[in-house]
Structure 1
Amino acid sequence: MSNIHPTALVADGARLDPTVTVGPYTVIGEHVTIGAGTTVGAHCVIDGHTTIGADNRIFQFNSIGAIPQDKKYAGEPTELVIGDRNTIREFCTLNLGVPQAGGITTVGHDNWIMAYTHIAHDCHVGNHTTLANNTTLAGHVHLGDWVTVGGLTGIHQFVKIGAHAMVGFASAVSQDVPPFMLVDGNPLAVRGYNVVGLRRRGFSAERIAAVKQMHKLIYRQGLTLEAARAAIAELAQSAPQASDDAAMMEQFLADATRGIAR
C-alpha cells in the first residue's frame, strides 16, 4: 500500500482498508483491523485483537490494544473495539479487556480523546464524549454519550457517568455521576446541572426545565433516593417531551452500584 510508510511494520495478518494511512515507525500487530479512511500517526503501537472503525484520526505516540494492567490477565484473546470518526491525540493508552469482565473494551463514535488519556480494561465509552488531557479511566468505567471530562481527572474503577454529565478539571470521581449533572472537586461534589451543554445540543426549554426539576428532586429537597426516583417517574408522565430523559435518569439511579455523587 502506497500510504503505508516504508518504515512502518505491519504484520501479515493485519487487515487494513486500502485507504488507511500509517505513519513512520508505527507497529501494527497481526490481529488488528482498521477501517476505511483512518489515519495512524508516527511511532504508534496497535496490537492485540483490536478493531478500529472508519475515519479515525490517531495521532503519533499512542499505545492501542496493549494487554490490560490487571494481574489476573493470563494472555487470553480479549478485545478492544473502537468505532468511527474518533480523534485520539498523543500519548494515549487504550487497553484490551479481561475475561472475568466480558473481555472487551469499547469506544464508540465521534469522541474527542485528548493527550495522555488512559482508558483501562473493560471500559465502555459512549459517543460524542470529550476527554481532556490526562483523563484517567480505571477498569470497568462506563461513560454515557456526550459526557465531558476535564483535564487531570481520575475516575475510580466501576464508576458510571451518565449521558450529558460534565466533570470539572482535576476531579476525583469515586461515585456514580447521574446524567446531566455538573460535578467537580476532590472530594467530588455536584454543583448543578449541565445547562450550557444541553443548550448547545438543542434541548428544548421543556426538556431543560425537566432536567432542572430532576436536579432539585435528587439534591435540593431532602428526599431519599427512592423517593426521588418515584418523583422522577411521575415527571416522565407530566412532561412528555422529557419522558425519555426522565426514564434515563430513573434507570441510572436504579442501576447505580457505587452510590451517587452528592
Structure 2
Amino acid sequence: MTDIHPTAIVEDGAVIGDGVRIGPYSIIGPNVQLAEGVTLEAHVVVAGHTAIGARTHIFPFASIGHKPQDLKYAGEVTYLKIGANNQIREHVTMSPGTEGGGGVTNVGDNCLFMMSAHVGHDCQVGNHVILANNATLAGHVELEDFVILGGLSAVRQWSRIGTGAIIGGMTGVEFDVIPYGSAIGDRARLAGLNLVGLKRKGIPREQIHALRAAYRALFESENGTLRSRAEALAAESTDQPLVKTVTDFILDKDDRRFCTPRSED
C-alpha cells in the first residue's frame, strides 16, 4: 500500500510503485517514476524526467531533478536515473543531464549522500559511493564504485575518480584520481593508497602488497612518463587484479591528467 500524505502534491502522470511513502508537503512532478518502497520525507521535491529506484530514502528539503545548472541548457528533455537502496539526506541536490553530456545523470545503488551534497549534470556515479556533508560534483564527473568523498570536498568538471579511492575533507580535485588512491589538499595531491578501505573489504594481503609496489613504480620512479610506466606495469602484472584496475584506468584515455604525489610547499 502506498502512503501519500494529504498535503503532498503528486502530479498527473507520475508513476508511483507499491509501498511508496510520500511525506507532508512533498511535490512529485508529472514525469517522475518512484519504484517500490521509495520513501520521501517531508518537503522533498522531485522534478523532471527522474526515475528513483526501489527502497531509496530521501530526506527533507532535498531537491532532485530540477533543470541543470548549465547556461547552455535550453529546455531539452534529459534524464536523472537514481538506483536502489540509496540514502539521500537533507538539502541534497541532483541535476539531470544535458544534451552536450549525453543527456543522462546516473546514480548507482547503495550510495549515501549526506547533507547538502550535490551531483551535477551528466555525472556518472557508481555503486556504494559516499559523499559526506557538502561534497560537490561539478558536471560530467565520473565516480566509480566504492568512492568516498570527505566533507566540503569538490570535484572539477570532467574529472574521474577510480574505484575504492578516498578524497579527504576540504579537498579540491582537479585531475583524475587512480583507483584505490588517497587524495588530500586544497588542490588535491595523491597521498598514497586507501589501505584502510582495502583492508575493510578483506582484500588479500598479497594483492595489497602488489598494489603498493605498483604505486611506487608508477609514482616514485623518474623513468619515462606516467603512461609509459603504466604500460610496462600492465605487461608485468597480468595476474594482479588490483594492479590491472589501476593500469587500465590510467591507459583508458590518452588525454587525461592525473592527481600525483607532490611535496608540500
Does the alignment reach a TM-score above 0.5? Answer: yes
* Cα distance in 2, alignment partners of residues 61 and 71 from structure 1: 24
CA RMSD of aligned residues (A): 1.2
Q: 1:97 to 1:150 in 2, by over 3 A?
A: same
TM-score between the two structures when normalised by the length of structure 1: 0.95
Query: Given residue 257 of structure 2, which amino acid in structure 1 is its aligned partner?
Result: G
Q: Tell me the residue number matched to 1:251.
A: 248
**Partner Cα distance (1:2, 1:217) in 2:** 56
How many residue pairs match? The answer is 258
The one-letter code of the counterpart of 2:153 is T
Q: Specify the alignment match of 2:28 in structure 1.
A: 28
SS state at 1:190 partner: strand
1:260 aligned to 254, 258, 261, which one? 258
- The answer to whether residue 118 in structure 2 is matched with residue 121 in structure 1 is no
DSSP 3-state at the match of 1:81: strand
2:231 partner amino acid:
A
The alpha-carbon deviation at position 222 of structure 1 amounts to: 2.0
d(CA) in 2 for partners of 1:252, 1:151: 25
Which runs of structure 2 are paired with 1:124-139 in the superposition (5 Å)? 124-139=124-139
Distance 2:246 2:118 in 1: 27
Measure the CA separation in 1 of the matches of 2:211 and 2:112: 25
Q: Is 1:187 aligned with 2:187?
A: yes
Question: What code does the residue aligned with 1:236 have?
Answer: S
Distance 1:166 1:2, change over 3 A: closer
Whole-Å separation in 2 of the counterparts to 1:48 and 1:194: 37
Q: Partners of 1:143 and 1:204 in 2: how far apart? A: 24
Same amino acid, percent of matched pairs: 42
Partner of 2:263: none
C-alpha displacement of 1:2: 5.3
What's the counterpart of residue 228 of structure 1? 229
Structure-1 separation of matches of 2:202 and 2:99? 40
Which residue identity does 1:148 align to in structure 2?
I
Question: Hey, what's the Cα distance between the residues in 2 that align with 1:2 and 1:26?
Answer: 14
**Normalising by structure 2, what TM-score?**
0.94
For residue 231 of structure 1, report the CA deviation from its aligned partner: 2.9
**1:53-92 equivalence runs, <5 A:** 53-92=53-92
Q: Hey, which bits of structure 1, 4+ residues long, moved more than 4 A?
A: none
Question: In the alignment, is the contact (CA less than 8 A) between 1:217 and 1:231 conserved in 2?
Answer: no
Alignment check: 8 A CA contact 2:156 2:174 kept = yes
Could you say which residue in structure 2 is the equivalent of 1:103?
A: 103
Given that 1:64 and 1:94 are in contact with CA atoms closer than 8 Å, whether structure 2 keeps it comes out as: yes
Change (3 A) 1:15 1:228: same
Q: 1: distance between equivalents of 2:175 and 2:150? A: 16
Matches for 1:149-228 after TM superposition, within 5 Å: 149-223=149-223, 224-228=225-229
Structure 2 unaligned runs (5+)?
Answer: 261-265
Comparing 2-11 with 224-233, greater Cα deviation is found at 224-233
Q: Is the 8 A contact 1:180 1:211 kept in 2?
A: no
- The answer as to whether partners of 1:133 and 1:151 remain within 8 angstroms in 2 is yes
CA shift for structure 1 position 208? 0.7
**CA distance, structure 2, for counterparts of residue 138 and residue 68 of structure 1:** 11
Contact 2:47 2:66 in 1 (8 A): yes
The structure-2 alpha-carbon separation of the partners of 1:93 and 1:168, relative to structure 1 and needing over 3 Å to count, comes to same
Secondary structure of 2:65's aligned partner: strand
Which runs of 5 or more structure 1 residues have no equivalent in the other structure?
A: none
Cα separation, 2, equivalents of 1:49 and 1:9: 16
Tell me which amino acid in the other structure corresponds to 2:252: D
User: Separation in 1 of the partners of 2:227 and 2:13?
Assistant: 53
2:178 aligned partner, one-letter code: P
1:129-177: CA deviations, max 9, x gaps?
1110000100000001000110001110000000000100100100000
Q: Given residue 163 of structure 2, which amino acid in structure 1 is its aligned partner? A: A
